[in-house]
Structure formats: C-alpha cells, structure tokens
Structure 1
Amino acid sequence: MQRLAILLFTLTLSSAACAKESFKVCWSIYVGWMPWSYGAEQGIVKKWGDKYGIDIEVVQINDYIESVNQYTMGEFDACTMTNMDALTIPAAGGVDSTALIVGDFSNGNDGIVLKGGKDLAEIKGQSVNLVELSVSHYLLARGLESVGLSEADITVVNTSDADMVAAYGTDGVTAVATWNPLLGEIEAMPESQTVFDSSKIPGEIIDLLVVNTETLKSTPALGKALVGAWYEIMELMSGEQDASSAAKTHMATASGTDLAGYEAQLASTEMFYTPAQALTLTNSEKLLASMKSVAEFSFDHGLLGNGVPSAEFVGIEMPAGTYGDETNIKFRFDPTYMQLAADDKL
C-alpha cells in the first residue's frame, strides 16, 4: 500500500508538471523586442493566454546577456535573443531551444563607430569596446574581413551594454561595436562616424523569440498564444496610422526615446510585420548559410564549449536542412506556429 501511495503521488506530480498553466517570458530593450512591452502592458498577451487557458508573465530584464542566461538556467520558458546567442548560450549549453518567432533581422541596427575616423580600415591597432562574444563581436569580425583585417589587428575590450555609452564618452575609448538604442546615442556624440553596420550582412543577425523545446512540445498552447499575440501587435504597428503611432510611441517611451527616435531604429530594422514575411526567411536557403557562418564564428571563438571538435557539434534544424550534428540537435527554427498565423488558424 505504501508503494502504491508513493506511485500515485509521483504520478500526480508528473501530471501537474505536464499540465503547467503558467509561463514566464523575458525580454530586454531593443527595437525589435519592444512589442513585448506593449503587448504585456496593453493586455494583448493576457488576452491570447486566456484564449488558450494559460497564464503568461512577461518580464523585462535590464541586462540582455543576463536574460539569456536566466532562460538557459530554466528561470524563464521563453526569451528574446539573437540567432547567435541562441546557439552559443542555451543550445551549446545543452538546452534544446526553438526559434518560435523570427521577428526581424538587423539592417543597420548594429554598427561599428570610430571616434574621429572615416573608414573601417582605420580601426587597425585600436582597442574596440563591445560586449565580447556577442553579435557585436560577430559584426566586428565580419567587418574586419571586408577590409582585409582580422581580430589580430585590433584589441577587444569587453564592455557591458549598460556601460557602453558612458565608456565611449571617455577620452580613452576610440572605437565601439554595439546595437540600438545605444548605437544611436553614440552616433549623436561628437566626432562619431559609423564605418560598418549590419546592413552590409543582411539576414545574418536575426532577432527571435526562443522557447524551450520541451515546454513547447508539452504545451503547444504556449506557442499559439505567443505567436497570436505577436502578430496582433505587428498588425497594430503596421496598420492604421493613429493606432500605429500610439503603439510605437508607447514602445519608444519604454525604450527611453521618442517616436522619431524609435522610427529611426525601425528604419534600420527589417521587421517582419506579417507571418508570411517571417516564413520567407525561415524557410530559405539563406538562413542555412547564415547559421553556418554564425556557427563557424562561434566555434573559432570557443563559444560552443571546451573540447568541441568542430563548428558542426551542435545540430541546427531548419526547414531548408540541418547544419551540424543531426544526433545533437539543440537549436530549431520551427515554422509551424508562424504558418498557423499565416493561415489564420490561431
């Protein structure tokens, strides 16, 4: 009887875990992720959660990398992050993760700025402040390649995104690589010149909402609710002028700028306002090539872990094919839920 009672108790706990009804999503300030702030505060996320019988808490984390780390440690069920960080932090750490929403790609929102310089080649011999091993580091490497330089020609100075603007304001800092809204603040400072930006590598720095794969599998309602909420917000942003302006003004204020400033950031972002636009990239051969490039950079910089034999160690599953080890798939681009939105089946 005692064994039976223990078994029943264990089964009850297991059922409760499978029937989880509350979920947590984290985000950090970036032009392409501000819609989550708006959706949470305006009740749009709650409305879609209610539709599918689940509760979704949306939490802002002030430090971007910390948000990704907290997701990786299981503190959150979903998190906004770039394709590179999704590969090198949760996926490389063994946390099977799915890109649920392909929201946009950076089309100038990430840049390299020189103080008093006019050409990227002038960066040779300088120290460059950036968030080390982030997409800024990847952008720098791609930029250096374009002018026949390598990382051996510069010195990387690891700098928190929270400290980037203040650091650039000091006399000793002459070069930075960063993202908006920090990039815009730095570009407005004296003697600043952007010498390379992500518009030169379109479709390589992708902004995502990433969800724990096991959580998504056990609760498809979470995927449906998040995707449904997202595209309702996208429709508002791109729709009727007054409603669009009101939504974007809210996002601008939440990110510390005004509507004009936010519009400027959107201008350098290839936002996918419809699921069809997102699916075009998600299903493409271009994504396969971009993730190969990102994986190779990550391997070269030791971001896939100690002792990893090659850039193909972590399998990345995409509609156009799989890059890497098919027996170790830890990062997935799943178009299922975006396709449901495109088919108006949410």
Structure 2
Amino acid sequence: MRKSLLKRVSLSLVLAAVATGAQAGKLSIGHTTWVGYGTLYLARDLGYFKDAGLDLELTTIEEASMYMAAQASGKLSGSASTIDEILKYRSKDFCFKTVAALDESHGGDGIVVTKDIKSIKDLKGKSVAVNEGSVSQFWLSYLLKKEGMSMADVEVQNMTADDAASAFIAGRIPAAVTWEPNLTMVKQKGTGDVLVDSSATPGVIVDVVALSCDVIEKQPADVKALVAGLYKAVQYTKDHPKEAYTIMAKGVGGYLSKPEDLAEAAKGVKFYDQAMSEKLLGTKGKSGDIAEIIKLANETWSELQGKPFAVSYDDLVDTRFVTP
C-alpha cells in the first residue's frame, strides 16, 4: 500500500533477500512501511505466533510490484497491502486470497490543498500530485466520482505520496494526495489545508494479509495461528497502547521508528479485531463488506487502466480462518 522515504532496490535483490518456498511452521510476508502493519510485528515480538508454532518472517519492500512478484515466484508466502492494490495482480496463474484484515485508514490518507481550494469540485482544472496506479489514485478517483467528476477533470502530476507532499509544501503544486506524517506536516507548517481525509470514507482504504493459495492449502495451521495472533495483538494494543506502540515502532521502523511518531500515525487507522474482521471479510456462507470494495476496485481500475478487471469476492477472500 505505502511507500516510505527508503530507497527502492531492484527486484533481483529483493528476490535474493527474501525467504524461499513454503515450509510448515513458517510464513513470510512482504509489505511497505505503514502503521497499519504494526500488529504483525507486535504479535511476532510478543511471542503470540511462536507460542502457536509459527515463525513469521516480515520483509519491508517499498514497491507493490516487487513484493507481489516475490510472492508470485514463491519467494514470499504472502503480502500485506490494500485490497484494491492486490486485486490488480490476481489471475488464474497467480492465486492468492485474503485471510486476515489488518487495518482501515481512518484519517491517515488525505488531500492537501492551497487555501483557495474549498471543495473537491474546486479541483477541476487544477494540477493534482498523485501516485498513479496506487491506492492514492484509487481513492482520488472515488472522491471525484462522488462529486460527478473523473480523473479527466484534473491535471495529474504523477509522484509518490512523499514527493507529492514535498512539491506541495514547496509551492510547486496546488493539491496533493498523500498520507501521514505528511498531512500533519502541512498543517504544522501552515502551507495549506487538508481538504479531506480518509475518515470521511470509512471502509474504502483497507489493508489485508493475502497468502498464496498453495500456502493456505498446505499450511492451514499456520494461517490459523497468524489470524489468532493478530487478534491477540489488537487486544493488547487496546489494553496497553503505550507499550504496543513502542514495540511496533521498533519493528516497523523507517519514518515510524520513534514510538511517539507511530502513536501519532496510529490515530489515523483502525486496527481490525475479530468482530470487525468478520464484518469486513465475512464468515462461512456469508460475504462481508469487502465485497463492495472489490466491486469498486474492479470498476475503478478497469476505467483508470483501460483494461477489464473482474476479480470476484470468492477469488480474493478465504473466510475459513476469520472465526477461530
């Protein structure tokens, strides 16, 4: 889902650095730097996975195409990303399914604008910095469509979320789609306003863990341990937030390596507990709210990329492990 300030590495180096092949008792997951993935580190470092016989290896890869390629080649068991991001990679030749919900962006993503822009409709004809092909473009397209507009109504400047924020703060662009800590930075510097953030669009930007289908079938006990450990980590975060954020910060690292920064970023997400996960992903015989996100992602990416996407709920979600 997210890109940090870290320098990208080549795909060959990524593939060489990550684990190889399925192995009982072990799962490997690739992800970008994002606060919502903190519960994976928390459950690992508190021993929740180990206690259930699972060794979880987490690898930071700051580009979706790279960690998805690593997963497709069998170098990774799965990935942590937004549902709309991974949908684009699902095919008959690359089978993976969502087994766990991690978090929902609830204020962590936003659009920063100059003082004269007061509404989404005011973006018409304006230059907007946004990372094409990413969740930022998916979300922007959704917001525009709600106002009867489309991406054709704005002048897109393709930049990463961090570069977009930098260009905005420098006064080179009137609007940018970005995320924390950039939203807070813009407000602190007084260089503009946050026009809208993801708290206004609940349930649209959602992060999940998606594992390769052969891993799910061959290692069901490990998948069960993964989901159960995440539920325990979310509960620990509720009960001991200060301690949880300290552990998460050490694991997630990057721009979130300081506990106070991770704690601030955590204000913009909702970590998914069991009840929330059941509602989002669904349970046996009953589809969840994620079906609507999948439908929206199919429609959005088909329009934006000019080719059909028709990934179904059943293609992308496995509900067997949602309820322990």
| 1:99-144 CA distance string (max 9 Å, x none) | 1111222222221111333332221222211221211111111221
Counterpart of 2:113 in structure 1: which amino acid?
A: L
- The residue aligned with 1:230 is 230
**Cα root mean square deviation, aligned:** 2.6
* SS of equivalent residue, structure 2 residue 28: strand
Q: Residues 144-223 of structure 1 correspond to what in structure 2 (within 5 A)?
A: 144-223=144-223
Given the two structures, how large is their TM-score scaled by the length of structure 1? 0.76
* SS of equivalent residue, structure 2 residue 289: helix
Cα distance change, pair 168–145 in 1 and its aligned pair in 2 (3 A): same
Q: What stretches of structure 1 of length at least 5 have no aligned partner?
A: 1-16, 318-328, 341-346
57-66 vs 24-33, which moves further: 57-66
Counterpart pick for 2:38 among 22, 34, 39: 34
- Does the aligned pair in 1 maintain the 2:29–2:59 contact within 8 Å? yes
| 1:137-180 CA distance string (max 9 Å, x none) | 11111221233322111122221245343333333222111233
| 1:55-105 CA distance string (max 9 Å, x none) | 33222224455334433443311111001012012x148421111111222
- The residue aligned with 1:338 is 322
Distance 1:31 1:43 in 2: 17
Distance 2:92 2:319 in 1: 23
Cα distance change, pair 190–65 in 1 and its aligned pair in 2 (3 A): farther
| 1:206-257 CA distance string (max 9 Å, x none) | 1101111111111112202211321222121011xxx431111333463535
- Does the aligned pair in 2 maintain the 1:31–1:181 contact within 8 Å? no
Tell me, yes or no, if structure 1 residue 250 matches structure 2 residue 247.
yes
Q: What stretches of structure 2 of length at least 5 have no aligned partner?
A: 1-20
- Does the aligned pair in 2 maintain the 1:31–1:180 contact within 8 Å? no
Greater Rg by CA: 1
Cα distance change, pair 19–195 in 1 and its aligned pair in 2 (3 A): closer
Cα distance change, pair 256–122 in 1 and its aligned pair in 2 (3 A): same
| 1:243-285 CA distance string (max 9 Å, x none) | 431111333463535555434433332322x212210222255
* SS of equivalent residue, structure 1 residue 290: helix
Given the two structures, how large is their TM-score scaled by the length of structure 2? 0.80
- Does the aligned pair in 2 maintain the 1:86–1:97 contact within 8 Å? no
Cα distance change, pair 118–206 in 1 and its aligned pair in 2 (3 A): same
- The residue aligned with 1:302 is 305
Counterpart pick for 1:47 among 46, 50, 53: 50
Cα distance change, pair 185–92 in 1 and its aligned pair in 2 (3 A): farther
Counterpart pick for 1:315 among 309, 312, 315: 312
